Amino acid sequence: MRALNAMSSTIGAGLVAALSGVAAFAQDAPSGLNEFGPEPKGWFLQDAATPVMEELIVVHNLVQIIITAIVLFVFLLMAYILIRFRESKNPVPSKTSHNTLIEIVWTVVPVILLVIIAIPSMNLLYKQDRLPETEMTVKVVGNTWNWLYSYPEYENVEEWVSNPLDETQAREVGQPYLLATDAPLVVPVGTKVKVLVTSVNNMHSWAVPSFGVKMDAVPGIINETWFEVFEEGTYYGQCSEICGVRHYYMPIEVKAVSKAEFARFIAAGGEPEDKFAQLNDGGGAVVSAND
Ligand SMILES: [Cu+2]
């Protein structure tokens, strides 16, 4: 089963590479911005939207190739042994118990493979864990069940609640249900953003796959991570810690806008977009925090 999974992943990776010109999910949202998120029946990682995710995909592909080669090699070797040395063909088995050359090879080759995997893995872990010189900060607080966002550096913008849109609202604004929110986190593109993640009650996890970001939100602890979004668009993620009965109802929507647009957004006190304001004013069923 493992072997099959590994093989299918690699075949999938090849297919994705062949079709890389086709961005299946990228579609024009009503706002004119591209959307990035999971695609129906998708089975590969989402397209990279940040430098960390770019590197993550490279490491993932490298490991896929290596494990596929190992699985194939062991599988073929086993098949050869079972057929070639079966009792009817080989009634008197060899009593050989040592072969120095083979023992050196099967020790050294795995060590080399592990080193080949370890170097890019450690680089990636370091890149994710060590924050570069960031240009702004976003505070993300997990709440049972929604997300609270604020900018510690911009005091004129109050902390706001990001609730999911219900099915009707999502359809109305043409966004995916269970991913779209009424008030997304807004960040500028081409900016290194520090993300402080914590929680007020349950443990949650703030995860945006196309950013290569997944950070636990733990009460009493402030975790930090970072991202730098390449291009403008709407990016989706979900809470990735099984946090309770409405765990599925904690989508994450991040809107990456131009620096000028972001400056305008901050100057306006973080006013939400009209389409969401209309929905909320129109008496739409906005889900409260604890129902
Ligand atoms: Cu959660």
Q: Burial code of 225-243, b = ≥16 C-beta within 10 A, e = fewer?
A: bbbbbeebbbbbbbbbbeb
Shared-domain flag, residues 143 and 34: no
Does any domain span residue 192? yes
Pair 141, 116 in one domain: no
Residues paired with 138 in a beta bridge = 195
Rounded to the nearest whole angstrom, what is the distance from the C-alpha of residue 15 to the centroid of ligand 1? 33
Cβ burial 11-20 (10 Å sphere, 16+ → b, else e): eebeebeeee
Residue 128 alpha carbon to ligand 1 centre in Å: 22
Judge if 60 and 103 occupy the same domain: yes
How close is the Cα of 37 to the center of ligand 1, in Å? 18
Range of the domain at 116: 2-90+98-129
Residue 259 sits in the same domain as residue 194: yes
Is 207 inside a domain boundary? yes
Taking the C-alpha atoms of residue 139 and residue 129, their distance in angstroms, rounded to an integer, is 17
For ligand 1, the distance from its centroid to the CA atom of residue 253, given in whole angstroms, is: 14
Each residue of 92-141: pLDDT tens digit?
A: 988 989 999 999 999 999 999 999 999 999 999 999 999 999 999 999 99
Q: Which residue has the higher pLDDT, 4 or 52?
A: 52
The total number of structural domains that make up the chain: 2
**What is the tens place of the pLDDT at every residue in 33-92?**
577 888 888 889 999 999 999 999 999 999 999 999 999 999 999 999 999 999 999 999
